[in-house]
Amino acid sequence: VNRRTVGTFTVSKVLVTFGGEDPANLTVPAARYFAGAGYSVTAILPEKKRPSEPLENITFIEPVVNLKETLYKYDLVVTHYGLTAFEANSAGCAVILAATSRLHEKLSKSYGFCTLSRKQLELPFDASLFSDVSKLFPPCAASGVENRSLGDYIKNLAHGARFECPVCKNSGKSAEKEKSPEEPDEIVARTEFRTFRRCRSCGIIYMSWSIKSEAADYGKSYFSEQYKNQYGKTYLEDFEFIKKSCGRRVMELNSTLRIAHYAKPAVLDIGCAYGPFLSAANDKGWQVFGTDIAEDAVSYVQNTLLFPAVCAPFPEFDSAVSFGINQFDAVTMWYVIEHFSDLAPVLTKVSSLLKKGGMFAFSTPSGQGVSAKLNRQHFFEESPADHYTIWEPSRAGKILQQFGFQIVKTVSTGHHAERFPQVKAHGWEKTSLPFKMYQTASRLCRMGDTFEVYCRKVK
Ligand SMILES: [Zn+2]
């Protein structure tokens, strides 16, 4: 509400604030930097963190309630990237940011803020900082430039959604967490739009906050336009190729399933899409059933492939009603498990749909593949907004065990030698020997960007 009256701009009063805690200890260096040049500096810092000697031109004050309404009293606000920066900009103050991390620096610059590094704060005051005043009032923060106005930014923040660990939140095993609810899980990655944490109870990596909370639409465009944008052709155009890799998965299932050779085992494919896996399993003598929430895909399976399929959400789906079958020899989910924001009921239902000794098989992106290991920030930036969990081969066993499954086999898939830095740097061709060596190394070290899990219902 309170804004500076706009007139000729001169700096005399400077506010330095890095939040109540100031974990990066930037308040004192930043206050000294401007005080040294003769400006009158007010610095927000709790008493216990202040230097014992008084400093010339610096007045320390305690954290201020409703700070945003007092910002207008200052000519210049020095802070880090965050809401205060936008509020100060909106209040008509000049803003200079100090970078607490490389991510903060990137974010500050992308909104056009003038940014000082910690190193610069240790040097004598640089008067050229104030030579181009327009840099202290980045227009993209206050008014719409490239759709990045303050209003849009705040609106986006308001649309953000928080998520708990999908495995633990409804598993009845969150007692450990309830003991100390104030202590959040460790952050493994933070991108402009999302935060990822590792659950300290079950070990899975999950999306704990996302700016985009609209429910994903798995309608026709998910498999046509959207799919084509990502892979260059539609799902149906890709059908035979996908089916080929499904054939290998059926062989894996055959080798792990202990069934009498005369039986015709039954498999339920959850998230069957247009049915490439059902088709491959049918070719190899399985009795196949599919479910998906995409109507167009299910009607293709029913009317073109002629397999039993239902359009139903999981885990609400009722197998006895839909297929007259209570339990299957195998249940499969190919690139589906990461889409559930609530996994405990899903895994419990999968178990109930399996005969004892039956197999549950799924595939998912790997949090331990070459992309996740060697280009971690990019991996999390690229993780789709509707992926709630990121599984890691080394931690999957412990999680599945909670639901009565024992891993029989994991297969590392999606090998991309071209994603290794050395291969990238040399530009080795796919047919070259070094490329092939990296491809082999990726297989041996299980560095694929995706993986498959085959586990048995033991309990
Ligand atoms: Zn958990």
How do strand 194-198 and strand 205-210 relate by DSSP bridges? antiparallel
For the ranges 87-91, 169-173, 236-240, 344-348, the lowest mean pLDDT is seen at 169-173
Residue 210 belongs to a domain: no
* Domain match, 244 and 380 both: yes
Whole-number average pLDDT of the chain: 87
* Domain match, 228 and 146 both: no
Question: Containing domain of residue 52, as a range?
Answer: 13-157
d(CA 381, CA 106): 14
Task: Identify whether the C-beta of residue 189 lies closer than 8 Å to the C-beta of residue 196.
Answer: yes
d(CA 374, CA 366): 13
The predicted-structure confidence for 277-290, as pLDDT tens digits, reads as follows 999 999 999 999 99
**Gap from CA of 210 to ligand 1 centroid (Å):** 18
SS3 of residue 385 by DSSP: coil
* Domain match, 253 and 373 both: yes
SS3 of residue 305 by DSSP: helix
405, containing H or E segment: strand 405-413
Beta bridge partners of 456: 359, 406
The predicted-structure confidence for 157-204, as pLDDT tens digits, reads as follows 667 788 999 999 987 665 555 555 667 899 999 888 899 999 999 999
* Domain match, 52 and 129 both: yes
**Gap from CA of 252 to ligand 1 centroid (Å):** 29
Residue 184 belongs to a domain: no
* 18, burial (CB in 10 Å: exposed 0-12, middle 13-18, buried 19+): buried
Residue 256 is encoded by which pair of tokens? 């792990």
For the ranges 6-20, 38-52, 88-102, the lowest mean pLDDT is seen at 6-20
Angle subtended at Cα 261 by Cα 282 and Cα 306, rounded to the nearest 5 degrees: 15
SS3 of residue 276 by DSSP: helix
Residue 51 belongs to a domain: yes
Total number of residues shown for the chain: 459
* Domain match, 237 and 385 both: yes
Residue 167 belongs to a domain: no
d(CA 434, CA 447): 17
Task: Identify whether the C-beta of residue 74 lies closer than 8 Å to the C-beta of residue 51.
Answer: no
Q: What is the mean pLDDT of residues 71-91?
A: 89
**Gap from CA of 23 to ligand 1 centroid (Å):** 28
Half-sphere exposure of 385 (CA within 13 A, CB side): 13
Residue 198 belongs to a domain: no
**Gap from CA of 202 to ligand 1 centroid (Å):** 4
**Gap from CA of 27 to ligand 1 centroid (Å):** 37
The predicted-structure confidence for 433-456, as pLDDT tens digits, reads as follows 888 888 888 888 888 999 999 999
**Gap from CA of 163 to ligand 1 centroid (Å):** 11
Which of 142, 157, 172 marks a domain boundary?
Answer: 157
**Gap from CA of 196 to ligand 1 centroid (Å):** 13
**Gap from CA of 172 to ligand 1 centroid (Å):** 11
Compute the Cα dihedral for 413, 445, 395, 329 and give only its sign. Answer: positive
SS3 of residue 94 by DSSP: strand
**Gap from CA of 343 to ligand 1 centroid (Å):** 10
* Domain match, 27 and 149 both: yes
Buried b (16+ CB within 10 A) or exposed e, 79-94: bbbeebbbbbbbbbbb
The total number of structural domains that make up the chain: 2
Half-sphere exposure of 79 (CA within 13 A, CB side): 25
Residue 162 belongs to a domain: no
Residue 179 belongs to a domain: no
Of 55-69, 136-150, 156-170, 196-210, highest mean pLDDT: 196-210
**Gap from CA of 197 to ligand 1 centroid (Å):** 10
**Gap from CA of 430 to ligand 1 centroid (Å):** 40
* Domain match, 139 and 225 both: no
The predicted-structure confidence for 223-269, as pLDDT tens digits, reads as follows 888 888 888 888 888 899 999 999 999 999 999 887 655 578 999 99
d(CA 192, CA 206): 16
pLDDT of residue 158: 66
**Gap from CA of 415 to ligand 1 centroid (Å):** 28
Whether the predicted pLDDT of 42 surpasses 60: yes
**Gap from CA of 349 to ligand 1 centroid (Å):** 18
Q: Is the peptide bond before 384 cis (omega within 30 degrees of 0)?
A: no
Which of 157, 190, 206 marks a domain boundary?
Answer: 157
**Gap from CA of 387 to ligand 1 centroid (Å):** 15
Angle subtended at Cα 388 by Cα 214 and Cα 418, rounded to the nearest 5 degrees: 110
* Domain match, 238 and 378 both: yes
Residue 175 belongs to a domain: no
**Gap from CA of 200 to ligand 1 centroid (Å):** 7
Task: Identify whether the C-beta of residue 388 lies closer than 8 Å to the C-beta of residue 208.
Answer: no
**Gap from CA of 166 to ligand 1 centroid (Å):** 7
**Gap from CA of 181 to ligand 1 centroid (Å):** 13
Which of 109, 131, 157 marks a domain boundary?
Answer: 157
Residue 77 is encoded by which pair of tokens? 């606000």
Kindly report the CATH number assigned to the domain that includes residue 284.
3.40.50.150
Q: What is the mean pLDDT of residues 282-301?
A: 96
d(CA 25, CA 123): 16
